[in-house]
Amino acid sequence: MLDSSDFRALVSGQRRGLWPSYFRFLAALAAAPYGWVVRWRNWRYDAKRANIRRVSAVVVSVGNLTLGGTGKTPMIEWLARWFARHDVRVGLVSRGYGAKAGRRNDEALELEQKLPGVPHLQNPDRVAAAENAIREFGCQLILLDDAFQHRRIARDLDIVLLDGLEPFGGRRLFPRGTLREPLTGLARADVVVLSRADLLSAAERKSIRDEVARRAPQAAWVEAVHRPRYLLNSSGEQKELSYLDDRRVAVFCGIGNPAGFQQTLARIGVQPAAFREFPDHHDYTQHDLESLESWSQGQNAQAVLCTHKDLVKISQSEFQNLPLWAVVVGLDIIANEESMNGRLKSVLEKITAGES
């Protein structure tokens, strides 16, 4: 089974040779019917042939065009805090991808720690989940996580994140690239957020912004960064990032964009002694944990690091005598925050109008 990094290396052309070329050929064949299905589905919603349901609360969607992590969870946290500061009762709704029966997935567990008291309902039927959030918790605003392609529920604001490391998915549809839908889908966006913008030059940011302006002239443009905040272990203990200074660390993760995590580590001066990758939403078994213990000991590491998304699925705070820490990341807007605030204030006005 290909992990995320291997898949990206193959579809990007970084891997050369007979097998990678054959893989790309087969992937291109598979991408054609996938694209037909996506375009047909979008046409049905655009032409109002498919039913779009409106719930009795204002709805804001956060999503992306590509596979893998673009920073949706930090964006959801940022939005939930923004609306909470304006005395809005917020509810989170997601599909619950990667969750086992009767359990919450890693993103829900992470947000539960960051946003205690904010209800988070997971259900493939997001209309039903939103209606439950309104009925059971009195939510005035529903934040839809990873929902740009989920068009069955009407929304009042569509926020799309583009990852600075791979904003347009190689310009190819899955599985030949990492696009979930054609780039023409950007025309539906109300706000486009370039995440990890600090990893790009001013010229690169401008090039991406210009293309977005052509495809979605109505959309507000925002630039954001993912800033490491602190270290956290499974016992709830926190440490300053400076704890990692001059320490040899082994790093692992099971997320959709491992390269993004590596860039986060580089920001705080961490050069991993070793890096181990698991599939996105990986559910760590006892065998995995024992394997990680043995692996980290073999690296002569002084600490082990993972993402917050990984830590919420691991109940231990060390591997034998090696401390296990997660790097907790938050989102900061570095350009055009006033544009974001303007769109969110329009949402606030709808909530206020609904109460009057």
Closest among 192, 197, 133 to 158, alpha carbons compared: 192
Find out whether 158 and 61 touch, Cβ atoms under 8 Å. yes
Q: State the pLDDT confidence band at 356, using cuts at 50, 70 and 90.
A: very low
- Bridge-based pairing state of the strands 58-64 and 141-145: parallel
pLDDT in tens, 131-173: 999 999 999 999 999 999 999 999 999 999 999 988 999 999 9
Residue 99 has pLDDT above 80, yes or no: no
Spell out the alpha helix ranges (H) of the chain. Answer: 4-12, 18-46, 72-85, 106-114, 126-137, 202-215, 258-267, 286-298, 308-311, 337-355
- Report the C-alpha gap between 42 and 28 in whole angstroms: 21
pLDDT in tens, 190-200: 999 999 999 99
pLDDT in tens, 247-297: 999 999 998 888 889 988 998 899 999 999 998 888 899 999 999 999 998
Q: State the pLDDT confidence band at 102, using cuts at 50, 70 and 90.
A: low
Mean pLDDT of 56-64: 96
Residue 346 has pLDDT above 90, yes or no: yes
Q: State the pLDDT confidence band at 229, using cuts at 50, 70 and 90.
A: very high
Find out whether 130 and 31 touch, Cβ atoms under 8 Å. no
Mean pLDDT, the chain, rounded, equals 92
- Report the C-alpha gap between 19 and 27 in whole angstroms: 12
Model pLDDT, residue 144: 97
Take residue 102 and report the two structure tokens written for it: 């009767």
- Report the C-alpha gap between 177 and 146 in whole angstroms: 19
Find out whether 91 and 119 touch, Cβ atoms under 8 Å. yes
- Report the C-alpha gap between 353 and 356 in whole angstroms: 5
Mean pLDDT of 293-317: 93
Model pLDDT, residue 265: 92
- Report the C-alpha gap between 261 and 255 in whole angstroms: 9
Residue 224 has pLDDT above 60, yes or no: yes
Model pLDDT, residue 165: 86
Residue 354 has pLDDT above 80, yes or no: no
The arrangement of secondary structure in 227-329, i.e. its CATH architecture, is 3-Layer(aba) Sandwich (3.40)
pTM: 0.91
Residue 13 has pLDDT above 90, yes or no: no
Find out whether 309 and 107 touch, Cβ atoms under 8 Å. yes
Model pLDDT, residue 353: 86
Take residue 52 and report the two structure tokens written for it: 């779009």
Concatenating the DSSP letter of every residue in 78-136 gives: HHHHHHHHTT--EEEEE--TTPPTTS--HHHHHHHHHSTT--EEE-S-HHHHHHHHHHH
Percentage, residues of the chain above pLDDT 70: 97
CATH 3.40.50.300 domain range(s) in the chain: 58-226+332-355
Of residues 234 and 2, the one with the higher pLDDT is 234
Residue 130 has pLDDT above 60, yes or no: yes
Find out whether 60 and 348 touch, Cβ atoms under 8 Å. no
- Region 58-226+332-355: CATH code: 3.40.50.300
